[in-house]
Structure 1
Amino acid sequence: MPALAVNPELPDLRIVPIEGLVFHERHDSRRIPPLLERLRQDGVLKNPPVVAPIPGSQRFVVLDGANRTVALAQMGCPHILVQVVDYQHPRLRLNVWYHLVTGISSEEFDRRVRSIPGLEVLSTHDLLAARAALARRYILAYAVRPDGMILMFRGGGDDIVRQSELLNALVDVYEGQADIYRIGTDQMEEVAPLYGEVAALVVFPHYHPSEILDLTRREARLPTGITRHVIPGRALRLHFPLDLLADTEQSLEEKNRRLQAWLKQKFVTGQVRFYEESTFLFDE
């Protein structure tokens, strides 16, 4: 049986200078230490970060894999293996995660968000109105409470950098002090029974790739983990040796030659499989 049952567009895998990668979101500092330990123990990079070229620049924006990138940088790797994608690819989707906040009371959540300087908090019971206001970017985000009250957050004017600062301030009042679950619905009645004490369900706006690139160019960052890029032809489970990435003697050109030889061997020996259908993985 051939390695690939169909003829998909093969992933663009490259080794690039790690200093040439920039972020559109903050990394999660709490996840770096265990990630570092696992990388050192395994000695391989399992799933390469996904990046897209920044127009008019030699740099790339990290779409997925900020924590892995930071961890490898802290390990002293001058280079990193990445999957380069076209941000305008018709099958690449940019979605958003919402935050279900538990472990603190709704009253405490309310008190904390109202203490953020520069953030105006409006109240309503009309979920449709909140959705429409967020779609029009009249508000930055909104939070649905278990009692049906909706807090709408406004501020920053038309300045996307200031808006991102306020969104980070919003997440900062509960991140690390409450439990956060990433979900894809704003229907409180669907998710509240599945968790413990729910404080709020925080809903963020949907972004366009041009906004992500603009944020990156202006050196602003969104809160960690609210953007979700769905990548066609995602390259996973490469298990690429870290010693080559960490090598400070070999040139970038030589490393990429070795990468291409390594990939060719994977294809020749039938170790590459393409799965077009959606799957559930139970060993992540």
Structure 2
Amino acid sequence: MKTGIFQLQVVPLKDILPHEKFDDNRALPLADKLKADGLLANPIIVARLEHGKFVQLDGMNRLSAFRMMKIPGILAQIIDYQDLENVELGSWVHLFSGKIENMRDHLKKVDGLIVKEGKMDQVRNRYIQSEGLDRLCTLVDKHKNVITVAYNGNLLEKIIRLNDIVAFYANRIERGVLPANAAREDIGFMFKEHPSCDIMSVFPTFARHQIIKVVRQGSLFPAGITRHLIKRRCLNANLPLVFFSHGSIEYQNRELEKMLKNRNFRLYEEPTIYFE
């Protein structure tokens, strides 16, 4: 279904190219929850590529769960990736338990990484160059010890090194969002929000063309680094899983059109504070 506000469509999984790895710790429980609930609440987010393909921008664990369940298609919201007003890019931070000394030892074993002691004012959001020397991430612990990690290479080599970095703690990640102009108290607050964590990894924000280039080259970002903020995002579609087992993808999209025409929706333009 395509309107002037949104486009929802059942898309074949074979036509969706992921841009990030999936998180085992999230995808496996999610597959069990989807089976128990019997429905898909929210569509994944994709953008069109050439030759009828799509790039996954958000919802990698839902996509992986559908693959585990051998469901051939999934409900997706198709967005215009070049829409600067309604699609904003950012990055997540990773928080995890451990000692920063052990992390430093691991980083020094990764080929080509330049590991240095850093300062608190380096713990912030930034962009990254595709080519040449640039910082891959900044690590800070709850005692305000800072490490900067840089690499001199091309974009795909940097993504490989990012995966090497995240692999050290991949099974114990908690995600958070660091304010754009983070102060010391913001960093301290992050650790208060995640009391079991000792270290925070702060990553750069990647540009659209960098993400697409990585996808086209067949590489993958680590899970949970890129962050896409979508205005007019569709929620609570609540499609039963049995919907995806009847007929072809074309048939499902015709049925989807009929279903959505009979449902009302509300558009919230303003940012919202939602108490849980």
TM, length-normalised to structure 1: 0.84
1:115 aligned partner, one-letter code: K
Q: Secondary structure of the residue that 2:70 maps to in structure 1? A: coil
- In the alignment, the residues of structure 2 paired with residue 135 and residue 73 of structure 1 have an alpha-carbon distance, to the nearest angstrom, of 32
Please give the alpha-carbon distance, in whole angstroms, between the structure 1 residues aligned to 2:125 and 2:239: 45
Larger radius of gyration: 1
In the alignment, structure 1 segments of 5+ residues that lack a partner are: 1-7
Residue 140 of structure 1 corresponds to: 136
Distance 1:37 1:213 in 2: 31
Following the alignment from structure 2 to structure 1, what is the Cα–Cα distance between the partners of residues 120 and 176? 23
Counterpart contact for 2:94–2:173, Cα < 8 Å: no
* Identity rate, percent: 30
1:82-104 C-alpha deviation (Å, 9 max, x unpaired)? 10000011221011112233x21
Q: Provide TM-score, normalisation by structure 2.
A: 0.87
| Distance of aligned partners of 1:134 and 1:95 in 2 relative to their CA distance in 1, 3 Å threshold | closer
Return the alpha-carbon distance in structure 1 between the equivalents of residues 53 and 197 of structure 2.
41
Offset at residue 31 of structure 1 (A) = 1.3
Q: 2:20 corresponds to which residue?
A: 25
Q: Could you list the per-position Cα deviations for residues 108-152 of structure 1 after superposition, in whole angstroms to 9, with x for gaps in the alignment?
A: 222222232332212233635x76996556221221234444322
Residue aligning to 1:263: 260
Q: 1:106 aligns with which of 100, 108, 130?
A: 100
Name 2:251's counterpart in structure 1: 254
Q: Flag structure 2 segments of 5+ consecutive residues without an equivalent.
A: none
Pick the aligned partner of 2:274 from 260, 265, 281.
281
131 and 237 in structure 1: CA distance in 2 versus 1, 3 angstrom threshold: closer
Superimposed CA distance per residue, residues 54-73 of structure 1 (whole angstroms, 9 cap, x where no aligned partner): 1x331101111010011111
**2:45 aligned residue (47, 50, 74):** 50
Where 1:36 maps in the other structure, the secondary structure is helix
Whole-angstrom distance in 2 between the partners of 1:150 and 1:239: 44
Q: Do 1:99 and 1:182's aligned partners in 2 also have CA atoms closer than 8 Å?
A: yes
Select the residue among 148, 166, 174 that pairs with 1:171.
Answer: 166
Show the 5 A alignment for 1:1-284: 9-54=4-49, 56-91=50-85, 92-101=87-96, 103-125=97-119, 127-128=121-122, 135=128, 138-155=134-151, 157=153, 159-176=154-171, 178-185=172-179, 187-192=183-188, 194=192, 195-196=194-195, 198-247=197-246, 250-266=247-263, 271-282=264-275
2:100 and 2:92 map into 1 onto residues whose CA distance is 20
1:231-265 per-position Cα deviation (integer Å, ceiling 9, x unaligned): 12100001012112133xx1222111111000001
CA distance in 1, matches of 2:243, 2:174: 36
Amino acid at match of 1:272: F
C-alpha spacing 1:217/1:36, structure 2 compared with 1 (3 Å): same
Tell whether the 8 Å contact from 1:106 to 1:198 is kept in structure 2 after alignment. no
Contact residue 18 and residue 78 of structure 1 kept, 8 A: yes
Partner of 1:40: helix, strand, or coil?
A: helix
CA distance in 2, matches of 1:18, 1:47: 16
TM-align CA RMSD = 2.4
Could you tell me which amino acid in structure 1 is paired with residue 255 of structure 2? R
The code of the aligned residue for 2:243 comes to: L
Distance in 1 of aligned mates of 2:29 and 2:125 = 40
Counterparts of 1:226 and 1:44, CA distance in 2:
27
Question: What is the deviation of 1:172?
Answer: 1.1
Distance 1:69 1:23 in 2: 9
Report SS of the residue matched to 2:89: strand
Say which SS state the counterpart of residue 222 (structure 2) adopts.
Answer: coil
How far, CA to CA, are the matches of 1:198 and 1:190 in structure 2? 15
